[in-house]
C-alpha cells in the first residue's frame, strides 16, 4: 500500500505539473513572409490574408518608378486592387497622379500628399507599418516629406498590386511578415512532456485504484449486471435513433464545423474558418479533431455524424442501465418510468443533437460525470470521482456549455470530501488529491497540443471583442429565441426544454412535501435535480446564447423524466386532483410548444408540413386544441377538489388510475416524437423524386452521392438558350425585338435603376443574432440582380444591366417602369417556338424584375402585376392556336431580377410555342414589371459545373449539403482564392452574410475586396418553386494577378511569445 501511495503522489504531481507547464512550453512556428516583386517579374500577386492585416510591412518604391508609370499616373503599390470597395479606407496605396503628385494613404489616413516639385530629385518612398505605428517618408528631398499615424493602422492586404509595367525599377521592394502565429507544432520537448503527462496521469489513476483497496473490498464490476439484455424500450429508442440518423433533420452549424474540419489539414490547426480572422477554436473544440479525422475517409453526412449516433446510443445505455438502477427500487421496477425516460430522451435528442456540434458529446459527458460521482459515493472510492473530474474537464473543453458538468462535481463535492477526510489518517491526503488534480488538468494536453498560452489568449481576446459575446444577465436572449417562430424556437425544441423544467419542478415539490420522491433513493435524486438546476445557472455564463446549447440536457432530461414518471404515479400522488393538475400542465406545455413552427434548419425543412408556421388543420391551430384541453383538465381538477372531501376511501383509484396516472407525460412525449418522425418521413415522400435529406442519405449508402450538388441545375449558357420569335423581326428596337403585337407603355429602359430586394421579416433567433442590431428584416439581393446601367445600349436600345450572364447584345428587355405621369401598360409578345423536349432542358424560364402577382404552393398570394405564359400549337401554315395559359413560378425576391420558370411537363404534349402576356394597370410608381424573352436552357448539375477540385466558398449553412465541393484552403495565414460561392436560401444568406462579413473577420471581408461576383441561374430539380440558395462565380478584380509565393522559416517560440494583437 505504501508503494501505491508513493506512486500516486509522484505520478499525480508529475502529471499535474506537466499539464500546467504544457501551455508554456515552446512550439515550432512556421514564420511566413512575402517579398515582392517575385520571380524577377513585375506583376501583381494575390495573397488574401485571413487575419486581414499582416504583422508588419515595409515598402520601398524608387522615385524613378513614378516616371515609369507614364503621363497618366497610377498605382505604384497597393494592398488592395483597383476597384476594391475599400481601396483607400482599408488598404495601403502608394500612387502618383498625372501632375506628378505623390500620395501615400493607409486606412484612409493620408500620410503623404506631395506635389511633383516637393519630391523632385527624391530617391525612394519608404512606408513601414506595424501594430504600433504606420509611417511614410520620401527620402532624398531638400525638405522633409513625411507623415505618420500612431496606433494600429496596418492595412488590409489581399495581395500586392501595381500599375507598373516593364522591367523592375531598381530598389522596388515590398516585405511583408504574415500573421502565421497559429501555424505551429509541438517541439520535441513539448511532445515528450505531453506523452509523459498522459502516462503519469494514467499511472496515478491506477495507483489511486490500488489506494482505494484499503477498504479490503473487491472492486465493483465495471458494467452493470444484465447490461446486455435487450428490451422493447431499447428497440423503440435505438430504432428511432437509427431511423433518425437516416431521415432526421440536422443542426444549423453542421456545415460550419464540416468546413473547419475539412480545411484543418492544410491550415495545420483548427481555425474558425468563417469568422474571427481565422483564430483557432482553442481552448474549446477538441472534438472537432475527430471530425477532421473522419473527413479523410468521407464527407457524407451519415459518416460524419457517426460519433453523434454513438453518443446517442451510449446516452440511452447509461440512462437505462446505470441511471435508473441508481434512482431506487421503485424506479427499477416501474416500466412506465423506463418508457417515459426513453421517450423524453428522444424528444430532446431528435431536434437538438443530430448534427456535428459538440452538444451530443457534452450530453454524454454530463451523464457519465454524474454516474461516476454516484459510483464514487456509493462505493466510498475515489477512482470513480477522479474519472468524473476527467470527463467533466474534457466535456468543458468540448464547448462552453460543458460548464454543466461542473454542476455534477459540485453536487457530489460534499460526500466525496467526506471520503477523503475519512481516509486521510490512513493513506494521507496527497495520494488522494494529486491523482484527481492530474485527471482534471490532463485535458490541457488536448487544448494546447499545437498552440501556446499566448495564442489561445489572443484567440479568446479576438472572439470576445468581435462577438457575439452576450453578458450573463442577458440569458433571456436564449429563451426569447426559443419562443420565436423559427427553427430556433420550433415546437420540438420547446417541448423538450419545457418538459424538463416541469419534471424538475414536480420532483422538487414532492421532495419538499414528502422528503423524497416516494420509492426513490433520496441522495441520487436530489443530486440529479441539483445538477439540472445548477446547470441552468451555469449556462448563463456561456458567451453565446444559442438555443442549440439546450442539447446538452438530453441525457439529464431523460433521467429527470424517469423520476417524474414515478412521482406522478398513483403510489406517489394519491390525489386525483393533483394528478389531473399535472395532466393540465402537460397539456399547457403542448399548447405553448405548438404555437411554434415545425421548423428545421435549411434543407431539413424540405417537404415538412408546417415548416414555417404553427401546425393547424382547417384554419385551427393545434395549440388552440391543447389549450382547450388544458382548460377542461383544470375544470376537472376543480371538480375533484370540491368532491374529494366527500369521498369515503382514500386509497389509490384502482387499476385504471394506476394505468393512466403516469400517462400524460409518457403519451405526450411519445406523441411529439411520433410527430417529429412522421414529419420528416412525410418530407422524404413529398419531395421524391426531388431532393430531401432522407433521399440523399439513402443514396449515399447505395453508391455515393453529392447530395444537393446533384440536384441543383445550372444554366451554363443562358444566351444560347434564348428562344427566337416565330415571326420575323423587322424592327429590333424596343418592343420590335420581341415581335410584340401589343406593347403599350413597355419600353426598353422601363426598369427602375435600384432593384434592391424588398425587406422581408425574418425570425429573430440564434442564427440571426450576431450583434445588437434590432432590425429583423433582410434585404438580401444576389450579386448581379440589383439593377444598374451600362454605357453601351443593348440589342433593342436598352442600357439596363442584365443579370445571370445575359448578354445585352443578344438579349432584349422591356419594362413598364415610368417616370412622371403614370399610365397603364400592356404587353403581348410574339410567339416563340419551343425546341424538342429533352431531359436536360426541363423548363421554360425567363428573367424578370418588378412586382409580379404569384401564388405559392400554400395558396398565399403575392400581389403585383399580371404576367402569364400562353402556350399554343403551331399549324402547318405557321399560325399558332392558343391552347391555354399558365402563371410562371416566381420564388422572388421582388423587385430584383429573378428567374421565373414553367416546367415543360405542366404544358400539354402538343404545345410547341409560347408567348408572354403582361398587364400593368396599376399607376403606383412602385408597381411595374420587366421581362426578357423566354428561354429553354440545357442545364447541368452544380456538381458537373463546379466539380470537386475548384476552390469554393461554401457558406457555413450549406457545407453538409454539398459534401463533394472543396472549400478553399488557407495556409500560413494566406487563403486560397475561391472560384465559386454557394449560398443558402435568402433568409439563410442573411445569416451567413452577417456572420462572414468584414466586421466579424470572415472571408467576405477579403473576397469582396479581391473578387467580383455574379449570380448564375440555378434551379432545384423536380422542386421548381424552391429557393434552394444561389451559386456565384467569382472573377478577380485584377485579372493579371498570380498567387503569391510565401516564404516560411521554422522558428521556435516560447509559450508566452506574442506577435502582437490581431487587428480587428
Q: Is the alpha carbon torsion for 617, 620, 623, 628 positive or negative?
A: negative
Residue 658 has pLDDT above 80, yes or no: no
In angstroms, the CA 134 to CA 137 distance is 11
Give the mean pLDDT of 529-550.
Answer: 93
Going by C-alpha positions, the residue among 97, 112, 100 that lies closest to residue 145 is 112
Residue 362 burial (CB count, 10 A):
31
Flag whether pLDDT at 655 surpasses 70: no
pLDDT attached to residue 738: 93
**Dihedral sign, CA of 378, 384, 388, 389?**
positive
Q: For helices 491-514 and 554-567, what crossing angle results, to 10°?
A: 50
For 454, what's the count of Cα atoms within 13 Å in the CB-facing half-sphere? 18
Distance CA 94, CA 141 (A): 17
The string of pLDDT tens digits covering residues 984-1033 is: 999 999 999 999 999 999 999 999 999 999 999 999 999 999 999 999 99
**At a CB cut-off of 8 Å and minimum separation 6, what does 1032 contact?**
782, 783, 980, 981, 982, 983, 1013, 1014, 1015, 1016
User: pLDDT (tens digit, 9 = 90+) per residue, 436-464?
Assistant: 999 999 999 999 999 999 999 999 999 99
Residue 773 pLDDT: 44
| H or E stretch covering 1012 | strand 1011-1016
Identify the pLDDT of residue 242.
Answer: 97
Structure confidence at residue 619 (pLDDT): 84
Q: Which three cell numbers stand for residue 279?
A: 483564430
Range 236-273 burial, b when 16+ CB lie within 10 A, else e: bbbebbeebbbbbbbbbbbbbbbbbbbbbeebbbbbbb
Secondary structure (3-state) at 707: helix
pLDDT of res. 765: 45
Residue 656 confidence (pLDDT) above 60: no
Residue 655: CA count within 13 A, CB half-sphere? 0
Residue with cell 441539483: 530
For the segment 867-879, the average pLDDT, to the nearest whole number, is 93
Q: What is the mean pLDDT of the chain?
A: 91
Which residues neighbour 435 within 8 Å (Cβ) at sequence distance 6 or greater?
8, 11, 12, 15, 201, 204, 205, 207, 208, 382, 386
Other beta carbons less than 10 A from residue 924's beta carbon: 9
What are the CA-CA distances from residue 173 to residues 94, 104, 170, 312 (Å)? Answer: 13, 16, 9, 58
pLDDT, residue 770, reads 54
pLDDT at 424 over 90: no
pLDDT given at position 572: 60
- For 74, the grid coordinates are 497610377
Which residues face 128 on adjacent strands?
Answer: 58, 135
Residue 1: its pLDDT value, please? 66
**For the chain, how many helices (H) and strands (E)?**
30, 41
In this prediction, residue 775 carries a pLDDT of: 42
pLDDT at 763 > cutoff 50: no
Question: Three-state SS for 694?
Answer: helix
Task: Say if residues 111 and 136 touch (Cβ distance below 8 Å).
Answer: yes
| Calpha distance 723→739 (Å, rounded) | 12
User: Closest by alpha carbon to 719, among 926, 513, 933, 569?
Assistant: 933
Give the mean pLDDT of 667-691. 96
Q: How far apart are the first and last CA of the chain?
A: 58
pLDDT at position 217 is: 74
CA atoms within 13 A on the CB side of 53: 22
**Confidence grade of residue 127 (pLDDT, cut at 50, 70, 90):** very high
Q: Which residues lie closer than 8 Å to 447 by C-beta, 6 or more apart?
A: 23, 282, 283, 286, 397, 456
The confidence score (pLDDT) of residue 577 equals 85
pLDDT at 767: 40
pLDDT in tens, 382-417: 999 999 999 999 999 999 999 999 999 999 999 999
Please give the share of the chain, as a percent, with pLDDT higher than 70.
95
- DSSP code of 766? G
- List, in order of start, the domains of the chain with CATH numbers: 56-177 (2.60.120.610), 188-217+232-250+305-677 (no CATH), 717-937 (2.60.120.940)
Q: How confident is the model at residue 769 (pLDDT cuts 50, 70, 90)?
A: very low
Cis, peptide link before residue 893, omega less than 30° from 0: yes
Cell 386544441 locates to 625
Task: Give the Cα separation of 610 and 597 in Å (integer).
Answer: 6
Q: Does 660 have pLDDT greater than 50?
A: no
- DSSP class of 39: T
Q: For residue 561, give the nearest of 919, 233, 1034, 1003 by alpha carbon.
A: 233
Q: pLDDT band at 329, cuts 50/70/90? A: confident
Instruction: Report residue 298 CA to chain centroid gap.
Output: 20
pTM: 0.92
> How does pLDDT run across 331-382, given as a tens digit for each residue?
888 888 999 999 999 999 999 999 999 999 999 999 999 999 999 999 889 9
Q: What is the pLDDT of residue 662?
A: 52
SS in 3 state form for 768-819? HCCCCCCCCEECCCCCCCCCCECCCCCCCCCCECCCCCCCCCCCCCEECCCC
Q: State the Cα–Cα distance between residues 44 and 61, nearest whole angstrom.
A: 15
Q: How confident is the model at residue 116 (pLDDT cuts 50, 70, 90)?
A: confident
Amino acid at each position: 500500500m505504501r508503494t501505491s501511495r508513493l506512486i500516486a503522489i509522484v505520478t499525480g504531481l508529475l502529471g499535474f505539473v506537466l499539464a500546467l507547464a504544457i501551455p508554456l512550453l515552446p512550439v515550432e512556428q512556421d514564420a511566413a513572409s512575402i517579398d515582392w516583386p517575385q520571380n524577377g517579374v513585375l506583376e501583381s500577386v494575390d495573397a488574401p490574408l485571413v487575419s486581414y492585416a499582416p504583422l508588419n510591412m515595409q515598402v520601398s518604391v524608387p522615385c524613378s518608378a513614378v516616371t515609369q508609370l507614364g503621363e497618366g499616373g497610377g498605382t505604384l503599390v497597393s494592398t488592395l486592387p483597383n476597384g476594391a470597395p475599400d481601396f483607400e479606407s482599408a488598404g495601403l496605396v502608394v500612387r502618383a497622379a498625372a501632375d506628378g503628385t505623390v500620395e501615400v494613404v493607409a486606412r484612409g489616413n493620408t500620410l503623404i500628399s506631395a506635389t511633383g516639385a516637393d519630391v523632385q530629385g527624391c530617391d525612394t518612398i519608404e512606408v513601414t507599418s506595424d501594430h504600433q505605428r504606420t509611417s511614410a517618408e520620401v527620402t532624398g528631398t531638400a525638405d522633409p516629406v513625411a507623415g505618420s499615424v500612431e496606433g494600429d493602422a496596418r492595412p488590409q492586404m489581399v495581395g500586392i498590386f501595381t500599375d507598373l509595367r516593364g522591367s523592375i525599377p531598381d530598389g522596388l521592394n515590398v516585405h511583408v511578415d504574415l500573421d502565421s502565429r497559429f501555424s505551429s507544432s509541438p517541439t520535441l520537448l513539448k511532445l515528450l512532456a505531453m506523452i509523459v503527462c498522459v502516462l503519469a496521469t494514467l499511472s496515478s489513476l491506477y495507483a489511486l485504484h490500488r489506494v482505494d483497496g484499503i477498504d479490503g473490498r473487491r472492486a465493483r464490476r465495471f458494467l452493470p449486471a444484465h447490461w446486455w439484455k435487450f428490451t422493447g424500450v431499447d428497440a423503440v429508442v435505438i430504432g428511432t435513433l437509427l431511423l433518425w440518423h437516416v431521415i432526421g433533420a440536422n443542426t444549423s452549424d453542421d456545415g460550419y464545423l464540416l468546413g473547419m474540419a475539412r480545411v484543418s489539414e492544410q491550415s495545420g490547426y483548427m481555425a474558425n474558418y468563417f469568422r474571427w480572422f481565422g483564430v483557432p477554436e482553442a481552448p474549446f473544440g477538441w472534438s472537432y479533431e475527430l471530425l477532421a479525422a473522419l473527413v479523410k475517409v468521407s464527407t457524407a453526412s451519415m459518416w460524419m455524424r457517426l460519433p453523434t449516433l454513438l453518443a446517442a446510443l451510449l446516452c440511452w445505455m447509461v440512462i437505462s442501465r446505470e441511471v435508473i438502477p441508481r434512482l431506487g427500487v421503485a424506479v427499477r421496477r416501474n416500466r412506465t418510468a423506463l418508457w417515459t425516460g426513453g421517450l423524453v430522451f428522444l424528444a430532446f435528442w431528435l431536434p437538438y443533437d443530430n448534427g456535428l456540434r459538440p452538444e451530443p458529446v457534452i450530453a454524454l459527458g454530463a451523464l457519465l460525470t454524474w454516474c461516476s460521482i454516484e459510483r464514487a459515493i456509493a462505493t466510498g472510492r475515489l477512482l470513480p470521482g477522479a474519472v468524473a473530474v476527467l470527463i467533466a474537464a474534457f466535456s468543458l473543453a468540448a464547448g462552453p456549455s460543458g460548464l454543466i458538468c461542473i454542476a455534477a462535481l459540485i453536487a457530489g463535492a460534499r460526500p466525496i470530501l467526506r471520503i477523503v477526510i475519512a481516509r486521510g489518517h490512513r493513506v494521507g491526503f496527497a495520494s488522494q488529491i494529486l491523482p484527481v488534480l492530474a485527471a482534471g488538468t490532463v485535458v490541457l494536453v488536448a487544448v494546447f497540443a499545437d498552440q501556446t498560452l499566448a495564442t489561445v489568449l489572443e484567440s479568446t481576446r479576438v472572439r470576445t471583442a468581435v462577438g457575439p459575446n452576450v453578458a450573463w444577465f442577458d440569458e433571456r436572449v436564449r429563451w426569447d429565441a426559443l419562443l420565436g417562430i423559427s427553427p430556433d424556437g420550433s415546437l420540438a425544441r420547446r417541448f423538450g426544454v419545457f418538459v424538463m423544467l416541469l419534471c424538475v419542478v414536480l420532483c422538487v415539490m414532492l421532495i419538499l412535501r414528502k422528503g423524497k420522491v416516494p420509492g426513490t433513493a433520496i441522495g441520487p435524486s436530489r443530486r440529479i435535480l441539483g445538477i439540472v438546476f445548477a446547470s441552468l445557472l451555469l449556462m448563463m455564463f456561456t458567451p453565446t446564447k444559442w438555443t442549440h446549447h439546450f442539447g446538452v440536457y438530453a441525457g439529464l432530461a431523460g433521467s429527470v423524466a424517469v423520476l417524474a414518471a414515478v412521482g406522478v404515479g398513483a403510489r406517489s400522488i394519491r390525489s386525483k386532483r393533483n394528478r389531473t393538475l399535472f395532466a393540465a400542465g402537460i397539456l399547457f406545455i403542448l399548447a405553448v410548444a405548438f404555437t411554434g413552427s415545425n421548423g428545421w434548419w435549411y434543407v431539413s425543412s424540405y417537404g415538412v408540413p408546417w415548416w414555417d408556421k404553427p401546425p393547424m388543420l382547417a384554419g385551427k391551430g393545434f395549440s388552440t386544441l391543447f389549450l382547450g384541453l388544458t382548460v377542461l383538465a383544470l375544470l376537472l381538477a376543480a371538480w375533484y377538489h370540491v368532491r374529494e372531501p366527500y369521498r369515503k376511501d382514500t386509497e389509490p383509484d384502482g387499476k385504471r388510475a394506476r394505468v393512466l396516472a403516469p400517462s400524460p407525460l409518457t403519451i405526450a412525449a411519445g406523441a411529439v416524437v411520433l410527430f417529429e418522425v412522421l414529419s420528416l418521413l412525410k418530407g422524404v415522400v413529398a419531395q421524391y423524386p426531388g431532393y430531401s435529406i432522407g433521399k440523399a442519405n439513402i443514396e449515399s449508402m447505395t453508391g455515393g452521392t453529392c447530395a444537393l450538388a446533384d440536384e441543383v441545375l445550372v444554366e451554363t449558357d443562358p444566351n444560347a438558350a434564348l428562344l427566337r420569335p416565330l415571326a420575323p423581326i423587322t424592327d429590333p428596337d424596343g418592343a420590335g425585338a420581341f415581335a410584340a403585337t401589343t406593347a403599350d407603355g413597355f419600353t426598353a429602359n422601363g426598369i427602375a435603376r435600384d432593384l434592391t430586394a424588398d425587406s422581408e421579416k425574418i425570425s429573430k433567433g440564434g442564427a440571426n443574432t450576431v450583434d445588437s442590431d434590432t432590425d429583423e428584416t433582410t434585404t438580401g439581393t444576389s450579386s448581379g440582380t440589383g439593377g444598374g446601367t451600362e454605357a453601351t445600349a443593348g440589342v433593342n436600345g436598352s442600357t439596363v444591366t442584365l443579370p445571370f450572364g445575359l448578354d445585352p447584345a443578344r438579349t432584349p428587355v422591356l419594362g413598364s417602369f415610368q417616370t412622371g405621369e403614370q399610365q397603364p401598360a400592356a404587353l403581348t409578345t410574339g410567339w416563340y417556338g419551343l425546341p424538342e423536349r429533352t431531359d436536360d432542358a426541363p423548363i421554360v424560364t425567363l428573367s424578370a424584375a418588378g412586382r409580379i402577382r404569384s401564388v405559392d404552393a400554400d395558396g398565399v398570394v403575392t400581389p403585383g402585376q399580371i404576367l402569364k405564359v400562353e402556350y399554343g400549337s403551331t399549324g402547318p401554315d405557321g399560325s399558332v392556336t392558343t391552347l391555354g395559359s399558365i402563371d410562371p413560378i416566381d420564388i422572388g425576391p421582388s423587385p430584383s431580377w429573378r428567374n421565373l420558370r414553367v416546367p415543360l411537363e405542366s404544358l400539354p404534349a402538343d404545345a410547341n410555342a409560347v408567348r408572354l402576356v403582361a398587364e400593368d394597370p396599376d399607376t403606383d410608381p412602385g408597381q411595374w414589371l420587366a421581362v426578357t424573352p423566354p428561354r429553354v436552357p440545357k442545364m447541368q448539375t452544380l456538381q458537373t459545373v463546379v466539380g470537386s477540385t475548384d476552390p469554393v466558398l461554401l457558406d457555413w449553412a450549406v457545407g453538409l449539403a454539398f459534401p463533394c465541393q472543396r472549400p478553399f484552403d488557407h495556409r500560413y495565414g494566406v487563403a486560397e482564392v475561391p472560384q465559386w460561392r454557394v449560398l443558402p436560401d435568402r433568409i439563410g444568406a442573411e445569416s451567413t452574410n452577417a456572420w462572414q462579413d468584414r466586421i466579424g473577420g470572415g472571408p467576405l471581408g477579403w473576397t469582396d475586396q479581391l473578387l467580383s461576383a455574379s449570380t448564375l441561374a440555378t434551379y432545384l430539380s423536380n422542386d421548381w418553386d424552391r429557393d434552394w440558395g444561389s451559386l456565384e462565380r467569382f472573377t478577380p478584380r485584377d485579372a493579371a494577378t498570380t498567387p503569391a509565393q510565401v516564404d516560411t522559416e521554422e522558428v521556435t517560440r516560447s509559450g508566452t511569445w506574442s506577435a502582437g494583437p490581431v487587428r480587428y
